[in-house]
Amino acid sequence: MSRQSLLRAVAHPFLLSLSCFALANAAQADLKLCNATSSRVGVAIGYQDKTGWATEGWWNIASQTCETLLKGALPSRFVYVHAIDYDRGGEWGGKSDMCTTDKSFAIRGVQDCEKRGYKRTGFFLKSIPARRRNGPSA
């Protein structure tokens, strides 16, 4: 199976899991992501807050489980996501380039990733409904 076919074959369950962004309660709008696949998945997120763009990762999410990625008020109504299927190979990305590394990271800014010693990685956009966030609009 080609990498492109694999990406199409495994993308659907993960994309469905993104609808599982959930909150603990209205005052504590945690960002939770659920992995609906049969594989272990590594996840990185990107978002814009009051001081600019940030990317964070990697969260390792076991098959059929959920993980809280951000605690408290969400900084934006949009979150960008990049994920890697550790077991079957492939990844879920997009056309919005942001900075990552191979190890755990928290990076400020999305420009000049390579010049700053990071990887340039494609993320896809996920909008969070207004009732599911408690931070400022982006």
Asked, for residue 56, whether it belongs to a domain, the answer is yes
Asked, for residue 76, whether it belongs to a domain, the answer is yes
Asked, for residue 138, whether it belongs to a domain, the answer is no
Percent of the residues in the chain that have a pLDDT greater than 70, as a whole number: 72
User: Would the pLDDT of 17 be above 50?
Assistant: no
Q: pLDDT tens-digit profile of 75-92?
A: 888 899 999 999 999 999
Enter the pTM of the model: 0.76
Q: What's the pLDDT at 75?
A: 80
Average pLDDT rounded to a whole number, residues 19-28: 39
Q: Give 74-93 as a DSSP string.
A: -S-SEEEEEEEETTT--EE-
Q: What's the pLDDT at 8?
A: 36
> Total domain count for the chain?
1
Range of the domain at 113: 3-132
Is the distance from CB of 138 to CB of 27 less than 8 angstroms? no
Asked, for residue 93, whether it belongs to a domain, the answer is yes
Three-state SS at 57:
strand
Asked, for residue 137, whether it belongs to a domain, the answer is no
Q: What's the pLDDT at 56?
A: 96
